A = this chain, B = another copy of it.
Amino acid sequence: MTPSEPTLAELGERHLLARIRERVPAGEGVRLGIGDDAAVVEVQHLAVITTDSLVEGVHFRRVQAPARLVGRKALSVNLSDVAATGGVARYAVVSLCLPSDLPVDWVDSLFDGLLERAAESGVSLVGGNVSRTPETIVVDVTVLGDTQRPITRSGARPGDIVVVTGSLGAAAVGLELLDQGARLGEDGELVATGIWTESSADALTTCLRAQLDPRPPLALARAVADQDLAVAAIDLSDGLSSDLAVMCRQSGVGARLEASSLPVSPAVASLERARRGDPLARALDGGEDYQLLLAVDRGRFAELAELSGVWGVPVTAIGEFVEGAPVVTLKYASGERELVPHGHDHFPHRGDHAGA
């Protein structure tokens, strides 16, 4: 550790908290912000609340993920959950578990990302907690918002259209690229191509950004909620095959997808072509896209497509919900097969690949 990189142990808790507090701007609706026992904030009658954490060694590695992007993502994964419930995120609290030999610079960069992402999304950081941890960094964010009209996972009906926003598969490929030595810098710029050549630079950048700095379609989600355009919604965090299985189970319906309709990320298609991989499998099973999966009434898809143009976020009809058991089938030109959920499981069970 050079003298220019003081650690948390050298700074001390009080100075760390003061340093954080100084950087947090006053926010709209915040009656009592950082620095008291609890925060007091104005909300509407129906509050939305969700929590999600990034754990070092599980969700990110310090050598692979710039701290600023860890901060951005820690907030974004929660914004995605609020959006999928038809809510608007307004406030966040952050609970940090930090090892005492962590450089202060790392925490400063984490807050660069958190505060920047908060400002972009109209969220005020109103409180939090810092604790020492033996070695593993944990960044736990809770977001509070409000909603006029909640959207659940359980409202899909036979005949509704299965819709996804954005494109699929890039975040999962980005995770592999990190293991192959590709890297982004603090500003999201490509700084290493790893085992890939410069000719793939654009696709690498796209996939790495999808993994390290996901951008859930917040404005589109808000418009969808305002106009009551979805009867069910879930965010795509575990992978389409898993998340759609959850929606089907909770709605008591099945679904039939058209393989040819899936909006595979062009960057994924290009990289998988180069290595003779399977882009469709990435779109179906790759997690962390943080796009939305919606159930939309057939008669209202045109309105949704119009919103898509307004907000610059693609929406794609990929199939329909059907009566019967909560099973998803996938139609190819050559036939049809059952889609088995292959998404992420933190504690994988022998022979059990269903997401939760």
Using a CB–CB cutoff of 8 Å, the interface residues on chain A facing chain B are 8-18, 31-32, 35-43, 45-53, 55-59, 80-82, 84-85, 87, 91, 93-95, 97, 100, 126-136, 138, 140, 142-145, 147, 150, 152-154, 233-235, 250, 345-350, 352, 354-356
Contact between chains at A12 and B50 (CB < 8 Å):
no
Residues of B within 8 A of A142 (CB): 49, 51, 93, 95, 142
- A31 to B: closest C-beta gap in Å: 6
Residues of B within 8 A of A15 (CB): 349, 352
Contact between chains at A356 and B13 (CB < 8 Å):
yes
- Complex Cα distance A188/B55, Å? 32
Of B8, B9, B36, B352, which is within 8 A of A152 by CB?
A: B36
User: Could you name 29 residue pairs across A and B whose Cβ atoms are closer than 8 Å?
Assistant: A9-B348, A10-B350, A11-B347, A11-B349, A13-B345, A13-B348, A13-B349, A14-B354, A35-B153, A36-B152, A37-B81, A37-B82, A38-B81, A38-B84, A38-B85, A38-B87, A39-B49, A43-B45, A49-B91, A49-B144, A51-B93, A51-B94, A52-B129, A56-B134, A58-B133, A95-B95, A95-B140, A95-B142, A132-B346
- Complex Cα distance A1/B97, Å? 29
Of B40, B47, B53, B234, which is within 8 A of A97 by CB?
A: B53
Residues of B within 8 A of A55 (CB): 97, 131-134
- Complex Cα distance A129/B74, Å? 13
- Complex Cα distance A355/B41, Å? 25
A102 closest partner in B (C-beta): B347
A140-B140, A150-B31 given as contacts; is B100 within 8 A of A347 (CB)?
yes
A90 closest partner in B (C-beta): B47
A142 closest partner in B (C-beta): B142
Contact between chains at A50 and B59 (CB < 8 Å):
no
Residues of B within 8 A of A47 (CB): 40-43, 47, 144
Residues of B within 8 A of A144 (CB): 47, 49, 144
A41 closest partner in B (C-beta): B47
- Complex Cα distance A43/B234, Å? 24
- Complex Cα distance A84/B127, Å? 15
Contact between chains at A40 and B48 (CB < 8 Å):
yes
Of B132, B133, B346, B356, which is within 8 A of A131 by CB?
A: B346
- Complex Cα distance A280/B14, Å? 25
Residues of B within 8 A of A234 (CB): 37
- Complex Cα distance A126/B235, Å? 18
- Complex Cα distance A152/B33, Å? 10
